[in-house]
């Protein structure tokens, strides 16, 4: 049978950047084996050392998770569509998550401001008063948090928590439209609060210019009705999910990478949680962040606005929420796909026998691979200035640039050999183990993955990671180069 396999952006480096593959097979297992036969570099990305599908990968056949069918033995029909969905990181007539709680009577000015809502029978006066009474926490004030804050404030959400620890950088302005050029260097919570006030002075805001962690998550989230997850790292996503599950709060999730976005509502009281869909995160470095892989500027506007719509529906009640559904959007192809997701009975936070009972007792750093294992050989780094010294001294070095061609067009690094990260294992014989090898990328994170990949492939030569990547070279060595 001829089957189309849809490859997400985060895995395309292992399939020669092909987004759609035409493969044959009688079962899902046959098709995936044929995929690996044609693209052997993809095996490490999709399967662990025991040959088991990695937990952060989901496989859907014609929009249905194969776990709800016959797993890998599910038969495929001619023309079927298999979709691989990695972490990027239903129902109708729902009651309001805030119950019958309503804000104070609307003033004449508020009636004028929100008149287009009041004309909708699905929202009306009662719904608008619920919006006024609601408390929504937005965690992350970047690309996704920007439209969330703007549209929730404009819609009349009475109390908005703004949570972010970063400052505004010039590279943020391409998509984080809540911040302005004049805000560069300011805390994001400060510029976001100012923007919210300018949109709707009736909206009360609370700012949290701190890092979300195991010690403060429950206390802060407990004070809100809904959390909108607009973060960009796996530790925060699992921590938010777990805190919401323990407290009985809905987690309105959004994620994006390059041209693709995901949206869902993880509400353990009524459907699956984030862990049900992604039991574990990918290995560090395998799925790049937007800072490493880029993102189309309008994408967070689409995804963040959909998140805002889900928040509003949860507050006013009614409508078809994304509980039990994962919405996938591809901006480049302008396609939406909807996938059904189910609660896992073995989920450690919301399953039948939960094992996570307190976020303070769970090691999120270890779970997300942020700790170096005791037996794991450390990755040695080299500072940009030290690399420059060794290059000027004429020391024998092999410098490997693992960036994509379009990245190398932005900034060229001198005297490098180009090997894409997906080709490293099979091209290891091109390296001389008697000469130090330096790996470079944008920020130094993909280089660490490259070194680990070569170690697993049996390469024994000395390898070094350019600390903080080519951006630190532009900052500390060659200031004529741009940082990106």
Q: What confidence score (pLDDT) does residue 376 get? A: 58
pLDDT in tens, 148-206: 999 999 999 999 999 999 999 998 999 999 999 999 999 999 999 999 999 999 999 99
CATH class assigned to 108-367: alpha beta
Q: What confidence score (pLDDT) does residue 92 get? A: 35
CA 245 to CA 235: how far, in whole Å?
15
- The three-class DSSP label of residue 21 is strand
Residue 367 tokens read as: 């779970």
Packing angle, helices 145-155 and 188-199, rounded to 10: 30
For the question of whether the overall pTM of this predicted structure is more than 0.95, the answer is no
Count Cα neighbours of 204 within 13 Å in the Cβ-side half-sphere. Answer: 9
Q: Look-up: residue for tokens 């939960």?
A: 354
DSSP class of 147: H
Comparing CA positions, the residue from 361, 447, 359 lying closest to residue 399 is: 447
Most confident of 10-24, 130-144, 453-467: 130-144
Strand partners, 22: 4
Q: Where are the domains of the chain?
A: 2-86, 108-367, 381-476
Portion of the chain with pLDDT greater than 90, in percent: 62
Q: What confidence score (pLDDT) does residue 370 get? A: 73
Comparing CA positions, the residue from 7, 91, 81 lying closest to residue 325 is: 91
Confidence of residue 290 (pLDDT cuts 50, 70, 90): low
The stretch 344-354 carries a mean pLDDT of 94
Superfamily holding 2-86: Beta-grasp domain (3.10.20.30)
Q: What confidence score (pLDDT) does residue 91 get? A: 32
Check pLDDT > 50 for residue 89.
Answer: no
Portion of the chain with pLDDT greater than 70, in percent: 95
Q: Look-up: residue for tokens 């949290």?
A: 208
Report the length, in residues, of the chain.
484
Just list the catalytic residues.
290, 441
Q: Exposure of 427 by Cβ count < 10 A (0-12 exposed, 13-18 middle, 19+ buried)?
A: middle
What are the φ/ψ torsions at residue 206 (nearest 5 degrees)?
Answer: -125, 130
CA 92 to CA 107: how far, in whole Å?
31
Q: 381-476: which CATH topology? A: Oxidized Rhodanese; domain 1 (3.40.250)
């Amino acid at each position: 049978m001829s089957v189309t396999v849809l490859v997400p952006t985060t895995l395309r480096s292992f399939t020669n950047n092909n987004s759609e593959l035409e493969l044959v097979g009688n079962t899902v297992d046959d098709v995936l084996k044929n995929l690996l036969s044609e693209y052997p570099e993809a095996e490490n990305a999709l399967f662990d050392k025991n040959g088991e599908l990695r937990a952060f990968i989901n496989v859907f056949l014609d929009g249905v998770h194969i776990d709800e069918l016959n797993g890998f033995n599910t038969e495929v029909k001619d023309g079927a569509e298999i979709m691989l969905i990695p972490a990027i990181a239903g129902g109708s007539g729902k009651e309001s998550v805030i119950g019958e709680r309503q804000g104070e009577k609307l003033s004449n000015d508020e009636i004028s401001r929100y008149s287009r809502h009041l004309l909708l029978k699905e929202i009306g006066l009662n719904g608008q008063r619920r919006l006024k009474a609601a408390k929504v926490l937005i965690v992350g004030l970047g690309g996704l948090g920007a439209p969330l804050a703007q549209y929730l404030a404009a819609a009349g959400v009475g109390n908005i928590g703004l949570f972010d620890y970063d400052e505004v950088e010039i590279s943020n302005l391409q998509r984080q439209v809540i911040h302005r050029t004049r805000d560069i260097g300011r805390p994001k919570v400060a510029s976001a609060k100012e923007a919210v006030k300018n949109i709707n002075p009736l909206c009360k805001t609370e700012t949290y210019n701190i890092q979300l962690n195991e010690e403060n998550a429950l206390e802060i989230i407990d004070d809100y009705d809904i959390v909108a997850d607009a973060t960009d790292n796996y530790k925060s996503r699992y921590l938010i999910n777990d805190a919401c599950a323990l407290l009985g709060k809905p987690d309105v999730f959004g994620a994006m990478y390059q041209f693709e976005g995901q949206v869902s509502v993880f509400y353990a009281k009524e459907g699956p949680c984030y862990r049900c869909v992604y039991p574990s995160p990918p290995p560090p470095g395998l799925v790049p962040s937007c800072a490493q892989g880029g993102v189309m500027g309008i994408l967070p506007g689409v995804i963040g606005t959909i998140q805002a719509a889900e928040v509003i529906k949860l507050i006013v009640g009614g409508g078809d929420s994304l509980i039990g559904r994962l919405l996938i959007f591809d901006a480049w192809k302008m396609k939406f796909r909807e996938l059904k997701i189910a609660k896992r009975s073995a989920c450690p936070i919301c399953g039948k026998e939960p094992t996570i009972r307190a976020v303070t007792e769970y090691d999120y750093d270890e779970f997300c691979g942020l700790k170096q294992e005791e037996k794991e050989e450390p990755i040695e780094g080299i500072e940009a200035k030290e690399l420059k010294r060794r290059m000027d001294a004429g020391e024998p070095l092999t410098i490997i640039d693992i960036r994509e061609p379009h990245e190398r067009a932005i900034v060229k690094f001198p005297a490098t050999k180009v090997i894409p990260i997906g080709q490293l294992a099979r091209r290891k014989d091109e390296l001389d183990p008697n000469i130090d090898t330096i790996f470079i990328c944008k920020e130094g994170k993909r280089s660490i993955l490259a070194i680990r990949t070569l170690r697993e492939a049996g390469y024994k030569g000395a390898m070094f990671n350019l600390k903080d990547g080519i951006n630190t070279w532009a900052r500390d060595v060659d200031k004529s180069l741009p940082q990106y």
